[in-house]
Chains A and B, each alone.
Chain A
């Protein structure tokens, strides 16, 4: 009854309660589980190519290994787990186009790696003659 009366006095109370009861810890855990892959990334696609941002806190940029095989980009390295022990990580991305692997640039700042990958210039269209048999 009291709760009801309070609601009458202050209709916003409902929302306050929603916020107070919000199981933030649960969502923290859920958020971690969902994004359990390492590193987490944001991938941007444009006409020029692709930009990939990866969170690699504590990973020495010199020890990050990045390789490209046709349209698969692989990030490899070693990181420190939350218990302090080292762990190897590897993550590959299947990209929607062929990459110009010679012109990939990467920079790391504040534990975030930014990789920009240009598209491979489209191969010239070639007409194929069909022989009559």
Chain B
């Protein structure tokens, strides 16, 4: 266990890790994965794809106001973390992500079906 370099680092470590609320919808061409990340600014979400595992990591920003006293606290500073094992039918190269109103919407296109094909037999 090493000593923490600075206060910021300690603050980050102290954040409660939570799994964000997420849902999946399926259409003919794609799967849509929606993850709720309220308070996470644009470009502050870390999205990584390793093999077929999609990982999401983000920290929310909870505003504080000077000259005001906090009366009711229900929104903690958290670190959102989630990972999803993508099914084989997803084309990982075509994944698109967009964020709007505190939602991260991932479009996971389905792969072109591997169609059965005819194999010619060369005449011996």
In chain B, positions 80-124 with a C-beta closer than 8 Å to chain A are: 99, 101-103
CA distance A12 to B1 in the complex (A): 7
CB within 8 Å for A46 and B101 given contacts A35-B74, A53-B75, A111-B38: no
With A45-B68, A46-B69 known as contacts, the answer to whether A53 contacts B102 (CB < 8 A) is: no
Known A31-B16, A58-B101, A112-B38; contact A46-B75, beta-carbon cutoff 8 A: no
Q: Is the CB of B71 within 8 A of A43?
A: yes
Is the Cβ of A55 less than 8 Å from the Cβ of B19? no
Of residues 38 through 65 on chain A, the ones whose CB sits less than 8 Å from some CB of chain B are 40-48, 51, 53, 55-61
Interface size on B, residues (CB 8 A): 34
- Residues on A with beta carbons closer than 8 Å to the beta carbon of B18: 28, 31
Q: Report Cα–Cα, A51/B63, bound state, in Å.
A: 11
Interface residues on chain A, size class: 35 or more
Does B9 count as interface, using CB distance less than 8 angstroms?
no
Query: CB distance B103 to A57 under 8 Å?
Result: yes
Question: A42 contacts B70, CB within 8 Å?
Answer: yes
A-B CB pair tally, cutoff 8 Å: 99
Across the interface, do A41 and B63 meet the contact criterion of CB distance under 8 Å? Answer: no
Contact of B72 among A41, A48, A114 (CB under 8 A): A41
Nearest CB on A from B12, distance (A): 15
Q: Please judge, given known A-B contacts A82-B23, A110-B40, whether A24 and B17 are in contact too, CB under 8 Å.
A: yes
CB distance from A72 to the nearest CB of B (A): 15
Chain B residue nearest to A51 in the complex (CB): B65
CB closest chain-A residue, reference B73:
A42
Instruction: Pick from B16, B19, B39, B68: contact of A44, CB below 8 A.
Output: B68
- Whether B102 contacts A57 by the Cβ 8 Å rule is yes
> Which residues from B are CB-within-8-Å of A23?
none
Residues of B within 8 A of A (CB): 1, 16-19, 21-23, 25, 34, 36-42, 62-65, 67-75, 99, 101-103
Question: Nearest 3 pairs between A and B by C-beta?
Answer: A111-B102, A57-B102, A44-B68
Residues of A within 8 A of B (CB): 12, 15-16, 24-25, 27-28, 31, 35, 37, 40-48, 51, 53, 55-61, 80, 82-84, 108, 110-112, 114
Pairs A–B under 8 Å by Cβ, sample size 20: A12-B1, A24-B17, A28-B19, A42-B63, A43-B71, A44-B68, A44-B71, A46-B65, A55-B39, A57-B21, A57-B103, A58-B102, A59-B101, A60-B101, A110-B38, A110-B41, A110-B99, A111-B103, A112-B39, A112-B102
